[in-house]
């Protein structure tokens, strides 16, 4: 089993935290009494959705970057394996001569 790419895992976890944080912060700020600033009373749905959208978007960007790093690491590992196999086959071929 190959070691997991730490950077990809960290970016994925940060993305999940961003999404969860966006939901929780949206609920918290939506419940705050911001009537003076926004001219509304009660739960501010517009503020909730604005913060939720930003949290989810930034979280998905981090998750996508982590997936990109993970796929690049897989490609590098496969390329190294192929290079090793080609070298082994070449060496075996030259030994037979």
| Summary mean pLDDT of the chain | 86
Locate the domains of the chain by residue range: 6-96
User: Residue 39: pLDDT band by 50, 70, 90 thresholds?
Assistant: low
- Return the C-alpha torsion angle 49, 51, 56, 61, nearest 10: 140
Question: So what's the pLDDT on residue 1?
Answer: 41
Global confidence as pTM: 0.76
Question: So what's the pLDDT on residue 4?
Answer: 75
Q: Is the pLDDT of residue 71 over 70?
A: yes
DSSP state of 4: P
Would you tell me how many other CB atoms lie within 10 Å of the CB of residue 61? Answer: 13
């Amino acid at each position: 089993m190959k070691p997991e790419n730490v950077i990809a895992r960290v970016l994925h976890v940060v993305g999940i935290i961003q999404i969860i944080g966006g939901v929780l912060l949206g609920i918290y700020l939506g419940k705050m009494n911001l009537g003076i600033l926004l001219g509304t009373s009660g739960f501010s749905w517009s503020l909730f959705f604005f913060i939720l959208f930003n949290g989810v978007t930034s979280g998905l960007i981090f998750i996508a970057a982590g997936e990109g790093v993970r796929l690049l690491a897989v490609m590098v590992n496969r390329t190294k394996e192929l290079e090793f196999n080609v070298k082994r086959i070449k060496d075996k071929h030259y030994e037979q001569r």
